[in-house]
Copies of this chain bind each other. A is one copy, B any other.
Amino acid sequence: MALFLSTYVNKLDKKGRISVPSGFRSALAGQSFQGVVLFKSQKHAALEGFPMSYMEDISERLDHFDLFSDEQDDLATTIFAQSVQLPLDGDGRIILPSDLIDFAGLGEQASFVGLGHKFQIWAPEKLEARKAEAMSAVKDKSMTIPKNNKADKGRA
């Protein structure tokens, strides 16, 4: 599997430890860094999750700005400074830092939400509201998915 798909609810233990769903782990196969990168969502009380390769990609793209430019500085501070790198332990778990647990309002459980090349982590209660909201937005605005532009294929 190359994509993060569907939703899984797993338990968070006292030490902040939680299993990454097996399907998500296989999406990470072949990565140089066996683990995930997380940061606080700008829009929701949730965490954004990426594979390391995606962060490296972002870093390269930021190099297209002038060094020390406002854009490079602001974007890098917003993205990289706030992100944490969490390695998988031998059993496929990660340890969530307590400030991220607080930010997302996680209790005994957390939902892993697959979103293709990235995923999110939510408190299960809050996720329900979010899903309803997303579905009604798609419906009301009759949203559709754009054509795939082949010329663009290199980077999603």
A63 at the interface (CB under 8 A from B): yes
Question: Chain A, 70-112, contact with B by CB distance < 8 Å: what is the 0/1 string?
Answer: 1101111110111111000000000000000000000000000
With contacts A42-B135, A75-B138, A134-B74 known, is A147 near B1, CB below 8 A?
A: no
Contact partner of A77 among B23, B63, B130, B149, CB < 8 A? B130
A15 contacts partner chain B, Cβ-Cβ < 8 Å = no
The range of chain A's interface size is 35 or more
Chain B residues in 8 Å Cβ range of A156:
60, 63
A77 surroundings in chain B (CB, below 8 A): 113, 115, 130-131, 134-135
Decide: B154 and A115 in contact? CB cutoff 8 A. no
> Which chain B residues border A6 with CB–CB below 8 Å?
80-85
Which of chain B's residues have a CB closer than 8 A to the CB of A130? 77
17 A–B pairs (Cβ distance < 8 Å), ordered by A: A2-B56, A4-B80, A5-B83, A7-B81, A23-B85, A42-B135, A61-B147, A62-B145, A64-B148, A74-B133, A74-B137, A74-B138, A74-B143, A76-B116, A77-B115, A81-B115, A147-B155
Besides the known contacts A63-B117, A76-B115, A77-B131, 12 further A-B residue pairs in the complex with CB atoms under 8 A apart: A3-B80, A7-B81, A7-B82, A58-B67, A64-B152, A74-B138, A75-B138, A77-B130, A80-B114, A80-B116, A81-B131, A82-B131
